[in-house]
Structure 1
Amino acid sequence: MLKRFTTLFPLWAVMLSAVALFYPELFLPYRNTIPLLLGVVMFAMGMTLSVKDFMLVLKRPKVIIIGTAMQYTFMPLAGFALSRLFGLSPELTAGFVLLGCCPGGTASNVICYLAKGDVALSIMLTSVSTLIAFVMTPLLTWLYIGQTITVDMYGMVVSILQIVVVPVALGIGLNAILGTRTERIRPALPALSVITIVVIIAIIMALNKDTVMSAGILVMSVVVMHNLIGLASGYGFSRMLGLSEIESRTIAFEVGMQNSGLSVALAIKHFSAIAALPGALFSIWHNISGSFLASYWNGKKI
């Protein structure tokens, strides 16, 4: 039942987004809760990890380095290039660049499983990119758009530490303390994450009602292209570098599926509600595209 609920994430996101666009007053009072809600998702992620998981990095350094490097290379560049190509406003450009500079999303782990990828590798890539995000995300955002819009690097570092690193660390710590007793609640954690992210998306839709109605098609088109570039480049370059089919599929999802919730929280706090729109739309789309690609790969022999 819980797995079924989790796999229908795009449907819940679309439905609640529609409600938010027609009845924004239901969600506007909760605009300041986005960082807290994302912290809940990160804590849930930490609850699925242990110190032993991170030791796996030492056994597969090549793949981890390649996957993480692609994550922080292709997506920021694609976000910046597409924004310039379509002449997006500085605020939307900031949103797309910030989205590209964020680490991999936890949804990639589920999609990777459905695509017959390497789930352990997926979790490690998500974890590593997340833990170094407090340096990479502010730095890359500043490098790309620091000349056109003010980027508070120090403030962004503090935000990521508060929203990502601390909750993940607390989750890992609690998991270590409770040990096997966490096995009872682990199956419910993905569902909790889905509910939380769907609420975050709805809040952003409510905040951006007018923008979605006027420029939604253009922004959504750029979101789709951004995601497809990530998926294609992650897979294609992995194969070119000699990685296996399974490793390449895994990296494709890690590169193409961003932690859009983090980009939304950072955009709201450090830029504007409009800058959060790309991340909110990306949250819906990358799960749809990822599910279709996973279904296709699941039916192919490796």
Structure 2
Amino acid sequence: MLNKLIKLFPVWAILFAGVAFFSPHLFVGIKSYIVPLLMLIMLSMGLTLTLQDFKNVINKKSAIGVGMLLQFTIMPITAFLVCYFLQLDTELTVGMILVGSVAGGTSSNVMCYLAKGDVALSITMTALSTLVGVVLTPVISGLLVGQSVDFPMLPIFISLLKIVVLPIAIGILINSFLNKQVQAISSLLPLISMLSIVIIIAIVVALNAGKLTDVGPIVMLAVIIHNSIGLFSGYFITKLLGFDEKTSRTIAFEVGLQNSGLAAVLAMKFFSPAAAIPGTVFSLWHNISGSILSGYWAQKGFETDLDKEAKLAAAVVTEP
């Protein structure tokens, strides 16, 4: 039952966004809950992690290194170019750059699982990119938009420490010392994260209900282009570099699916509600595109190295 509810994430996000758009008064009054809700998501993520997850980096450092490099180069640069060619205003540009500069989203872990990717690799990459993003997100964003707008790099860095690192660290500690108790509620953690991000989306939509009619279509176009380039470059670049199908699918989701909820929160906190629109639209869209792609890959399947070896052996045996 819980899995069915979680798989309907895009439906809930669109439903809540629609309610917020037509009845913004239902959510405007709880805008102060945005940061606590995001911290709850980060805490939930921490509760799923152990120190061993980070030790796995040693075994898959090449895949993680390539994925992280693509994450923090392709996504921010693509966001900048999309804003330039679509001539988005300053507020929307700041929002798009923040979306491109944040870490991979936790929804990538779910999509990776559905697409039969490497879930352990996905979780490790999400956790590491989230922690590395505490430094890289303000630096990259500041470099790309610092000349156009006063970008508070240090305050954003400090805020990321509080919103991201602290709750994740607390979650890991709790999981380390109270693992049995955490396992008992582990099935609820994805649902808690989903509900939290859905409410964040609804609040941001409610705060921008009047402006969404004007900028919604152009932002949606920007987000679709941005997300598509991230997904496809993450997949095809890793394939060209010789990674197997399972790893390439995993990195595609890590690169293309952003922690857009965090981007929306930072935009709201340090800039304006309008700057949070790209993060909100991205949150809606990347769950839809991710669900479609994971469904396609799940149906398609793939050959493992063992399958290829078996075919090769069979071919050798049948040779005259």
User: TM-score normalized by structure 2?
Assistant: 0.93
Q: Aligned residue for 1:284?
A: 284
C-alpha separation between the residues in 2 aligned to 1:272 and 1:58?
41
Letter in 2 for 1:186: S
C-alpha separation between the residues in 2 aligned to 1:128 and 1:240?
24
- Post-superposition offset of 1:215: 1.6
Q: Aligned residue for 1:33?
A: 33
Q: Aligned residue for 1:168?
A: 168
C-alpha separation between the residues in 2 aligned to 1:301 and 1:147?
47
- 1:230 equivalenced with 2:230 (yes/no): yes
Give the gaps of 5 or more residues in structure 1: none
- 1:144 equivalenced with 2:139 (yes/no): no
Q: Aligned residue for 2:72?
A: 72
Q: Aligned residue for 1:295?
A: 295
C-alpha separation between the residues in 2 aligned to 1:210 and 1:72?
33
- 1:198 equivalenced with 2:225 (yes/no): no
- Post-superposition offset of 1:269: 0.9
- Post-superposition offset of 1:60: 1.3
Matches within 5 A, 1:100-119: 100-119=100-119
Question: Deviations for 1:9-32, whole angstroms, at most 9, x for unmatched residues?
Answer: 111111111111111111111112
Letter in 2 for 1:47: L
Three-state SS of the structure 2 residue aligned to 1:40 is helix
Q: Aligned residue for 1:158?
A: 158
C-alpha separation between the residues in 1 aligned to 2:241 and 2:271?
37
- Post-superposition offset of 1:181: 2.3
- 1:56 equivalenced with 2:56 (yes/no): yes
Question: Deviations for 1:134-191, whole angstroms, at most 9, x for unmatched residues?
Answer: 1100000011010001110100001111111000000001011102221110000000
C-alpha separation between the residues in 1 aligned to 2:207 and 2:199?
12
Three-state SS of the structure 2 residue aligned to 1:49 is coil
User: TM-score normalized by structure 1?
Assistant: 0.99
Identity value in percent: 47
Question: Deviations for 1:254-289, whole angstroms, at most 9, x for unmatched residues?
Answer: 000000110011001111111100010111110110
C-alpha separation between the residues in 2 aligned to 1:134 and 1:293?
29
Which entry has the higher C-alpha Rg, 1 or 2? 2
Q: Aligned residue for 1:273?
A: 273
RMSD value over aligned CA atoms? 0.7
Three-state SS of the structure 2 residue aligned to 1:191 is helix
